[in-house]
Amino acid sequence: MKTTAKAHANIALVKYWGKRDPTLNLPAVGSISMTLRALTTTTAINFKDEFTRDRLILNGKHAGEKQARRVSKFLDLMREPAGVHTFAEITSENNFPTGAGLASSASGFAALAVAADRALNLNLSPTALSRYARMGSGSAARSIFGGFVEMHRGEKPDGSDAVAEPLFDANYWPLEMLILITSEAEKPIGSTEGMNLTAQTSPYYPAWVESSINDLAEMRDAITRRDFEKLGEIAEFSCFKMHGLAMSANPALIYWNELTVKLIAEVRRLRKQGTPAYVTIDAGPQVKVICPPGESDSLMTHFSKFEGIKQVLQSNIGGGARVK
């Protein structure tokens, strides 16, 4: 029987970068995100006795060896407690560009965890699902939930406390976001490789880990008080700290292109003129603009005319991952 699940991408307002245990995929720092309604992955899974291996179809095409192996390994983790040994066909579609720093792994593994849970009759709690999703991709743990979500770094060596927790649901403070796509190319260095290189080579890494605790506290406080300026300030601080950190790796990791830099300057210019907007950027060249409820339409008009931008996506806050 085919089971289909849907999950939304999420964008971190306080970033995760670095692993305390690469094997269990445990984050070195906590993170806080908002889930985006408009960016969706829909994943169908079908276990069949006659299959001799898992098959992954991503956006209508057979996935490459590396991606297929990553998904198979993830499914093994869920097959084991279910006592199931059959293989599956997995069909996954994103309604946004894949692998270009747009958190497709977040919505991808969250949707897969939810679909596999139902197909394998595991009946896991959302917290347990987030623990599984984390093993697929760190940011996926957050996409299990909607609204504002905090991912805990956890302390336990087995990672059982490295899970996401919903802070406030999607209706609490309907912030909006624009995603300015500056390039549709796949990023050259994935986040796992980038994080590991950073942890091994950057002299700034210990300071990054230590200072994240305060960022998380301040972000929680800003969201609780619905203080947009404070939220934007901390989001930019965390984002630029993460990119400064990545640039201090050896060899340097530079995820931006020229347009990324121009857009950062443009948002700063608009803000000086009184527009409430802040940027955040993940492991890629796309610029995400965070704005208060009702502000994204005029910014959409503004950026749609900005030279060089490939595409502008607009989203408000969305809900958690679910069976369709």
User: Where do contacts with ligand PMV occur on this chain (CB under 6 A)?
Assistant: 12, 15-17, 31, 103, 105, 137-139, 191-192, 282-283
Q: Which is nearer to ligand PMV, 91 or 198 (CB)?
A: 198
Between CA 272 and CA 263 the distance in angstroms is 14
- Pick between residue 46 and residue 67 the one whose CB is nearest to ligand PMV: 67
| Minimum CB distance to ligand PMV, residue 141 (Å) | 8
For ligand PMV, the closer of residues 14 and 259 by Cβ is: 14
CB of 85 to ligand PMV, least distance (A): 28
- Of 224, 228, 254, 208, residue with least CA distance to 30: 208
The least distance separating ligand PMV from the CB of residue 31, rounded to whole angstroms, comes to 4
Among residues 94, 267, 101, 300, the alpha carbon closest in space to that of 184 is found at 101
Nearer to ligand PMV, 124 or 141 (CB): 141
- Omega prior to 251 cis, within 30 of 0: yes
Of the pair 55, 241, the CB lying nearest ligand PMV is at: 241
Q: Least separation, in Å, of the C-beta of 105 and ligand PMV? A: 5
Tell me if 201 sits within 8 A of 250, measured CB to CB: yes
Minimum CB separation of residue 83 from ligand PMV in Å reads 29
Nearest distance, CB of residue 152 and ligand PMV, angstroms: 13
Closer Cβ to ligand PMV, 47 or 256, answer by number = 256
Question: Structure tokens of 105?
Answer: 């792994």
Dist CA 138 CA 162 (whole Å):
10
Min dist. Cβ of residue 136 to ligand PMV (A): 9
* Closer of 12 and 100 to ligand PMV (Cβ): 12
Of the pair 113, 119, the CB lying nearest ligand PMV is at 113
CB of 290 to ligand PMV, least distance (A): 14
